[in-house]
Amino acid sequence: MNIIESEALELLEFYKIKKYVTELCYSNGAKQKASHISVFSDNENLTVELHRVDELKNTLSGNSFFPDIQFEDFRKEASLLSLEGSMLTEEQFLLVKESTEISNTAIRFLRNRKQDLPNLSQLADELEDNKVIVVEIDRIIDFDATVKNSASKELQKIRKELSEKKRESDIKFDRQVNELRKLGFIRDNEESFFNGRRTLAVLVEYKSEVSGFVHNKSETGKTIFIEPGATISINNDIAELEIDERREINRILRELTDTLRPFAFQLKQYNDLLIELDFLRAKAKYAQLINASLPVISAKSELKLNKAFHPTLFLQNKELKKNTVPLNIHLDSKNHLVVISGPNAGGKSITLKTVGLLQTMLQSGLLVSVAENSVMSFFKHILIDIGDTQSIEHELSTYSARLKNMIAILKQVNSKTLVLMDEFGSGTDPELGGAMAEVVLEELVKSKTFGIITTHFPNVKLLANKLDGVLNGSMLFDLETLDPKYILTVGEPGSSYTFEVAERVGFPKDLIERAKQKIDTEKVDLNALLAEVQQQKQN
């Protein structure tokens, strides 16, 4: 069973977090890892991952040295190297050399930082730096990805002869150009190459006056491109020498490939190390962006979020130069459920999503946007029912869909489960839905499940006040401006402010009074009392 279902991840918009981290990666391998971030199934590996990200974040935040790990993936080159009879190109060797140098630096850095980076340094525990790869490639390949003249005596000899022949060809060609230009047979400053050979741009009416090999003709037909006869023989010599040069280069490259073949597996290890460091660095950079930290991880079920922010909302507001209101919520074995009430658009749903997203991030190896003195734990299941889950495809009503979600949730609840339910019991007759909600709440209390539930039902608020392990909470609302404050306060239920909001927006007073007369007097009195209590608290 998954810790959290894919539908729940979609509701929490976890994909936005993965997108941020992916964009902060440099290599394709790290980007691939970031796009597949998921919840860890093993808590031991998860703990190590979180500490690695935290160590790296602290290193970057403290402006301490960390190796530059910008590199191009070289697993393809390492795999090719392991194949008997293969040959790497000059460019591939240069990539291997540069990547090995980066790997060597990273390995030495991690090896020397075991004391202050104990978890990160483990990545290099079974790795050794390799100077042979760098020295051997540097001996053969130049900085511009060409084989050095000094790579072999034969290559040096060929290139010397080639250079002399080209110089001789250029002299003969330039002499021919000067002669024909004086005669007016060629176009000024027009010279082309065809198949690597220099040709003269001869005016078509003089083509019979110029000996040589015709390579091409202009689209207008006014110019014909001729390789001068004086250079044909020497150009043939050049072409032959170039073939010899390529053969000798290939021989050298094959020899170098054979020399480095024993290190193919080590190079794959290097590639994996650099991808992992790139990936961890992206996580650390994202943590810096959202002011994230590693909370205290409790072995028992506990959730104490101090100054928590929804990371995506925080970044959006930061761009708009707006403040984000922090969330504070504490759940433990004594009080493991909070029932939040209050007006619509007051922040109840974003509270649920913040808690759900932060818990998912933590269990996916990401630091979370909370104060460092926050306490979190690892839950075996994160169960979410937020929003209208009506299924047209299966012809389920909203209420039926919500009931099915409740059934699935109740099958898995225990003290290691985190449940987040928005407006549970809604979608049907309020009185009947409220009764069903009471039953579900009682079951959640019995199972010692951790969770946050939002409701408008007065009976659920009253029940929450009576049950051990449950706290009422409310979202504060400014009656003067009709604006939500997005502040969660725990201790009292909240009013829905139905009639207060209606009056403030100019709804006819006589209609409001008639509406009040049509409902249970106790409900009106309760809402009025709750609104008065909140107003007093705010004052």
Residue 57 · residue 288 · CB < 8 Å = yes
Give me the pLDDT at residue 391, please. 42
Give me the pLDDT at residue 514, please. 78
Q: What is the DSSP letter of 313?
A: H
Phi then psi for 147, rounded to 5 degrees? -75, 130
For 142-295, strand residue ranges (E) read: 186-194, 197-203, 212-217, 223-228
Check which CATH number belongs to the domain holding 298 and give it.
3.40.50.300
> Does 137 score more than 90 pLDDT?
yes
Report the candidate in 276, 251, 352, 243 with the shortest Cα–Cα distance to residue 308. 352
334 plus 425 within the same structural domain? yes
- CA dihedral for 88, 92, 96, 98, sign (positive or negative): positive
pLDDT tens digit sequence for 409-438: 888 888 899 999 887 656 555 666 678 888
265 plus 390 within the same structural domain? no
| Rg of the chain over all Cα atoms, to the nearest angstrom | 37
Give me the pLDDT at residue 193, please. 82
174 plus 25 within the same structural domain? no
354 plus 454 within the same structural domain? yes
Give me the pLDDT at residue 103, please. 97
Which of 10-24, 61-75, 394-408 shows the highest mean pLDDT? 10-24
Q: Find the mean pLDDT for residues 89-118.
A: 96
Report the candidate in 223, 196, 226, 222 with the shortest Cα–Cα distance to residue 211. 226
Burial zone of 413 (CB within 10 Å; 0-12 exposed, 13-18 middle, 19+ buried): buried
pLDDT tens digit sequence for 502-528: 776 677 888 877 777 766 555 555 555
Give me the pLDDT at residue 392, please. 38
Q: Of the ranges 118-127, 141-150, 527-536, which one carries the lowest mean pLDDT score? A: 527-536
Amino acid at site 366 = L
Residue 437, domain member (yes or no): yes
Cα 269 → chain centroid: 22
67 CB-near residues (< 8 Å, 6+ apart): 102, 105, 106, 109, 277
- CA dihedral for 417, 406, 337, 423, sign (positive or negative): positive
The domain containing residue 41 runs over which residues? 13-148+256-288
Which structure tokens are listed for 130? 């390799």
Domain count, the chain: 4
Residue 245, domain member (yes or no): no
Which residues lie across from 147 on neighbouring strands?
141
Check which CATH number belongs to the domain holding 90 and give it.
1.10.1420.10
Question: Of 246, 265, 288, which one is at a domain's C-terminal end?
Answer: 288
138 plus 155 within the same structural domain? no
* Model confidence band, residue 113 (pLDDT cutoffs 50, 70, 90): very high
Residue 8, domain member (yes or no): no
User: Within a 10 A sphere around the Cβ of 176, how many other Cβ atoms?
Assistant: 21
487 plus 503 within the same structural domain? no
Q: Find the mean pLDDT for residues 252-266.
A: 97
Residue, of 530 and 141, whose pLDDT is higher: 141
420 plus 303 within the same structural domain? yes
221 plus 351 within the same structural domain? no
188 plus 302 within the same structural domain? no
Which structure tokens are listed for 423? 């407006």
Q: Following CA atoms 124, 126, 129, 132 in sequence, which dihedral angle do they give, to the nearest 10 degrees?
A: -160
pTM, entire model: 0.84
Residue 2, domain member (yes or no): no
Residue 249, domain member (yes or no): no
pLDDT tens digit sequence for 145-175: 999 999 999 999 999 999 999 899 889 888 8
> Does 238 score more than 80 pLDDT?
yes
Phi then psi for 64, rounded to 5 degrees? -80, 160
482 plus 377 within the same structural domain? yes
Helix 521-538 × helix 458-466 angle, to 10°: 70
- CA dihedral for 30, 31, 32, 37, sign (positive or negative): positive
Give me the pLDDT at residue 448, please. 94
261 plus 342 within the same structural domain? no
pLDDT tens digit sequence for 192-230: 788 788 888 888 888 888 888 888 888 788 888 888 888
* Model confidence band, residue 107 (pLDDT cutoffs 50, 70, 90): very high
Residue 244, domain member (yes or no): no
Q: Find the mean pLDDT for residues 57-64.
A: 91
Residue 109, domain member (yes or no): yes
Give me the pLDDT at residue 425, please. 57
> Does 407 score more than 70 pLDDT?
yes
* 3-state secondary structure labels for all residues of 52-79: HHHHHHHHHHCCCCCCCCCCCCCHHHHH
pLDDT tens digit sequence for 280-302: 999 999 999 999 999 999 999 99
Give me the pLDDT at residue 174, please. 82
333 plus 475 within the same structural domain? yes
What distance in Å separates the CA atoms of residue 286 and residue 280, rounded to the nearest whole number? 10
Residue 3, domain member (yes or no): no
* Model confidence band, residue 1 (pLDDT cutoffs 50, 70, 90): low
Report the candidate in 376, 367, 373, 296 with the shortest Cα–Cα distance to residue 61. 367
User: Within a 10 A sphere around the Cβ of 262, how many other Cβ atoms?
Assistant: 11
Residue 46 · residue 361 · CB < 8 Å = no
Helical segments of 184-222, H only: none
pLDDT tens digit sequence for 349-364: 899 999 999 999 999 9
